[in-house]
Amino acid sequence: MMTTVHFGWVLNAGPTRGMEPSRFLEITREQIALVGEQIDSLWFTDHLQFGQSPVLEGWTALTYIAALYPQYRIGHMVLCQSFRNPALLAKMGATLQYLSGGRFLLGIGAGWHEEEYRAYNYPFPEPRIRLEQLEETLQIVKALWSEEQATVEGRHYRVHSAYCEPKPEPVPPVIVGGLGPRLLHIVARYADGWNAAWVKPEAYRERLTTFERACQQLGRDPSQIERSWFGRCICVPSPQEAARLQGRGLLGTPDQIAEQIQAYVDLGITTFMLGSWELEDLQTVELLARQVLPRFRPGAGAA
């Protein structure tokens, strides 16, 4: 029996330098129109800067897109827990869930891009501390979403007699992104989904062992946690063009990219958040939409 595979589309993080807003939105609409019925969700990253490249703020951008496209679920891949007070994040998520009619998916991670922390005056503690903060963030978010009045005393974050009304209905799935052993224990304890970004199948197979062990230690069935993969793509028509491609993500012809996706499906990944590397590379979007993603629809047969 063929595995049911879901696809979401990751929008580009910002315009090219000097691009007018109308042009950026025009291309974004063209991308979404091309992938159309092949996807069920739209995603935006959560970064503040990458050098001098224009970058849109993730929450603002996603809420705008959510209003434009009410037929799709929406989420970030992934929110940086450091950027927003956990209680405020819970309130923002509950509000978006209410206004979007229950379409919000909470994708979140510990944060990693030191440049933006330093530039925007966020403390950048060691990874162990950021993971502790992520765990406390999830405790606070879940408490505010489920308890009438929440009090959580953590080492890094706390709330006292906090209300979050209206409660999100349904409670948004929590998708935690990352690969480290301690993070995978956080996934096993708190998450509805685990996202592995960019990782190759061979490395993912190794992480999968750690993930399953963490679930077993906590008495949780690993199959209860949906597994997903995030990455960008370059798709070209010919093997000759594909041979010249370099970089990470899914690269190649439609046949080659379908084979790459199938390798992850064989390892138990059932959801893919894909996007194009270049904003104006509509060739990649069209090839994915017409020649790759349809192969994984029910009744299409194995890739």
Residue 239 lies in a domain: yes
The list of the chain residues with pLDDT below 70 reads 1-2, 301-303
Cα separation, 142 vs 123, whole angstroms: 24
Would you say 171 and 154 are in contact if contact means Cβ atoms under 8 Å apart? no
- CA–CA distance, 162 with 60 (Å, rounded to integer): 24
* Helical (H) or strand (E) element with 176: strand 174-177
Q: At what angle do helices 127-146 and 181-190 cross, to 10 degrees?
A: 10
Residue 179 lies in a domain: yes
What is the domain-level CATH number for residue 128?
A: 3.20.20.30
Only one residue has tokens 């008495």, namely 219
Looking at residue 21, its pLDDT comes to: 97
- Whole-model pTM over 0.85: yes
- Domain residues for the domain of 46 are 6-296
Span between the terminal Cα atoms of the chain, in Å: 13
- Residue reference for tokens 């069209």: 286
- Residue 223 identity (one-letter amino acid): S
Residue 301: inside a domain = no
Whether 303 is covered by a domain: the verdict is no
Report yes or no on 286 lying in a domain. Answer: yes
Q: Residue 1 domain-assigned?
A: no
- To which residue do tokens 């929590």 refer? 174
Q: Write the CA distances from 263 to 25, 209, 250, 275, integer angstroms.
A: 34, 17, 12, 18
Residues 66, 169: Cα–Cα separation, whole Å: 17
Rounded to whole angstroms, what are the CA distances from 204 to 95, 265, 299? 35, 12, 27
- 247-278: b or e for each residue (b if 16 or more CB lie within 10 Å)? eebbbbbbebbbebbbbbbebbbbbbbbbbee
Give the integer Cα–Cα distance in Å for 166 and 207.
38
Which tokens sit at 77?
């891949």
286 and 267 Cβ atoms separated by less than 8 Å: no
Q: Omega into 166 within 30° of 0, i.e. cis?
A: yes
Q: What size, in residues, is the chain?
A: 303
Domain count, the chain: 1
Give the pair of three-digit tokens for residue 70. Answer: 């009410």
Which pLDDT belongs to residue 302? 45
Does 257 fall in a domain? yes
CA-to-CA distance for 8 and 173, rounded, in angstroms?
15
CB 199 within 8 A of CB 120: no
> How many other C-beta atoms can be found within 10 angstroms of the C-beta atom of residue 51?
6
Residue 302 belongs to some domain of the structure: no
Output phi, psi for 235, to 5 deg. -120, 130
Q: What is the DSSP letter of 83?
A: G
Phi-psi region for residue 184, left (φ > 0), alpha (ψ -120 to 50) or beta? alpha
